[in-house]
Amino acid sequence: VFLVCILDTADISPEIEVDFVAPRANTISHEPARRLHIAGELLRGAMMSLCGIPPEDVSYTPLGKPYTPSRPDVAYSISHSGTLAACALLTLDGDHIIEQPLSVGVDIQRADGSGSAKDNASIMRFANRFYSDAEIAEISAVGDKKSAFYRIWTMKEALLKYTGEGLSRPLKSADTKSESFGVRYVTHDVFDSSGMKYALAVCFPAYVNEYPSLYRITPNDSKFYRAQDVKDAIIALNTGN
C-alpha cells in the first residue's frame, strides 16, 4: 500500500469528536492552526486504522519522527500548510526484506508566492543560502522559478522527514539531486477549497518500484465528523467504490 491523502479543514465539522484528537489540539488557541492539527490527526488515525495499528503503538524518535515499533513494515508522515493536511502511508509486503525500519517523508507548502518567493530576486537569494549548487542550477535554468523553488523546497523537507533529521541537518546538505540518500521523489501541485495552489512532495526508498496514489479526501455529504468517516472515504477511493 502506498497512499498520500489530503484533507482540507473546510471539510471538517466544527463538532468533530474531540475525544479522538490528540490532547495537544486543546492547547492550540489559534483556531485555524487547531483545525489544521485536527485534520492531520484525522488522517493519521484513519491511516493507522487501515493497517490495524492502535494509536498507542505510535512512538517518536528524539527528533520527532513518528514510527510504529511493532510494525517496521509500515511508515507514515504528516505535513500541514494553509488549510491542507497531507499524510503519506507506505507498507511493504512479504516480498521485501528490510534491514531497518521503513521510512517515508511528505511535505506540503502553500505556494502563494509570498516571503522568500515573492519575486525572482528573492528566490535566488534564498536559494543561494539554503539550496545546493545543483538545485540552484535547476532554478536558474527555468523561466518559472517560483514553481521550481517550491518543488525543490518541498522535496528537501520531505527528504529531512524521511531521514528523521528534520532541520537539525543543514539545508544545503539536504541535496535532492544527490543519489547518496538512496531515495526517489514524486511531486504534485494541489489546490485547497478556495483555489489556492500548494506544492506537495513525497520521498521514499529507491527500491520501492511504485508511486503513491494521491487522493483528495472529501465527504460524501456535509462534513467529516469522525476518523471512521475519513477511513471510509479513503477505502472507497482506494478500491474504486
pLDDT in tens, 54-108: 877 888 888 888 888 888 889 999 999 999 999 999 998 755 555 567 899 999 9
Asked whether the predicted pLDDT for residue 18 surpasses 60, the reply is no
Say what the pLDDT of residue 143 is.
Answer: 94
Report d(CA 112, CA 202) in Å as an integer. 20
Question: Beta strands 2-8 and 213-216: pairing type?
Answer: parallel
Selection from 158, 156, 150, 151 nearest residue 202 by Cα: 158
- DSSP, res 15: T
* pTM score over 0.85: yes
End-to-end C-alpha distance for the chain, whole angstroms: 17
211 contact partners, CB below 8 Å, separation of at least 6: 2, 186
Tell me, what's the pLDDT at 68? Answer: 86
Is residue 188 pLDDT above 80, yes or no? yes
Three cell numbers at 161? 522527514
Residue 22: is its pLDDT beyond 90? no
> Do 72 and 65 meet the contact criterion of CB atoms below 8 Å apart?
no
| C-alpha grid cell, residue 73 | 513494515
181 three-class SS: coil
117: DSSP letter = G
Q: What is the mean pLDDT of residues 28-38?
A: 84
pLDDT of residue 108: 98
